[in-house]
Amino acid sequence: MEHDREILRDGLTRSIVEDIVTVGGGAHICLGKGGVQGRNRSGHRPVRHFEDITEIREVEKKLRRVNRALNLMWECGRALMRARDESALLSEICRIAVEDGGYRLAWVGYAEDDPGKTCARWRRRATR
């Protein structure tokens, strides 16, 4: 209702994104566009148009995840080119995953070639 009042008061077009739950319990994300159309006896008449953008938002979310993974791979490749030694590389990959990739924890490990099959590992936690 507040948006309708602004539309009537200002006579401008407004867009808002709203979460809508249907009677059946389905959740949707809708883009509402509103403006004024003509005049009636009581003044301007607000008009609203809603478009379901749930699928668009889901695709955007997936694209952000893919872009984050690609960026992470790119930065790890750059770290590989700059690495002084294996330990520094693995530590840097963990740092990149946490600080640049947005992960809360990164762990890199591999089996040593020894009788105990011990695991060499590097770890980093987010400091948020």
The rounded distance, in Å, linking the Cα atoms of 18 and 25 is 15
User: What pLDDT is recorded for position 2?
Assistant: 67
Structure tokens at 60: 């955007």
Looking at mean pLDDT, say which of 46-60, 61-75, 82-96 comes out highest. Answer: 61-75
The rounded distance, in Å, linking the Cα atoms of 54 and 46 is 25
> pLDDT band at 118, cuts 50/70/90?
confident
Residue 68's CB is within 10 A of a number of other CB atoms, namely 14
Q: What are phi and psi of 46, to 5 degrees?
A: -70, 140
More confident residue, 123 or 76: 76
More confident residue, 38 or 91: 91
* Residue of 37, 35, 41 lying closest to 3 (CA atoms): 35
Strand 43-52 with 27-40, pairing = antiparallel
Share of the chain above pLDDT 70, in %: 77
| Tens-place pLDDT, residues 28-50 | 999 888 776 666 556 666 677 78
Model confidence at 68: pLDDT above 60: yes
